[in-house]
Amino acid sequence: MSIYDFTVKTATDETVSLEAYKGNVLLIVNTATGCGFAPQLEGMEQLFQTYKDKGFTVFAFPCNQFLGQEPLADGEIAAQCNLNYGTTFPFFKKVDVKGSNTHPLFNYLTNEAPGLFSGKIKWNFTKFLIDRNGNVVDRFAPSTKPEKIAPAIETLL
């Protein structure tokens, strides 16, 4: 199994198979516009711009499970992030990343890279790095700044 076995919904409710991104290096992140880590979106955009021509992209999955820090509607999130942080990478529909309604993709990600102490995602901006074969190769804490992930991305590219 790999991430290519999953489908996700775009912010405009279109179904996308992650198989369409086969051969790319991905950084999958649960985001929230009202989170104190939201300025990391600017750094994630910098990573995207630096490496997109080499087959890298960032996937943002908004989540409102942590203190209601994502109150915006799906259609508003990407626009606000573009306005405030200059983001151009893909944003998807809001998902649950923990609990009984966890999106299957995030169940897979947390099983493959459980993190410290438990597999649960404990906060917004948990980051999962995926190799060109769809394997989860690393997990980064919410406090890990995007620029610190650049060497791992370069290795996979």
| Catalytic residue (choose from 8, 28, 35, 41) | 35
Is residue 35 part of the annotated active site? The answer reads yes
Helix axes 40-51, 74-85, angle to 10 degrees: 80
Residue ranges of the alpha helices (H) in the chain? 40-51, 74-85, 104-112, 146-156
Task: Count Cβ atoms within 10 A of the Cβ of residue 129 and give its class: 0-12 exposed, 13-18 middle, 19 or more buried.
Answer: buried
What is the pairing mode between strands 56-62 and 25-31? parallel
Give strand pairing partners of 131: none
Contact by Cβ (8 Å): 41, 85: yes
Task: Count Cβ atoms within 10 A of the Cβ of residue 58 and give its class: 0-12 exposed, 13-18 middle, 19 or more buried.
Answer: buried
Catalytically annotated residues: 35
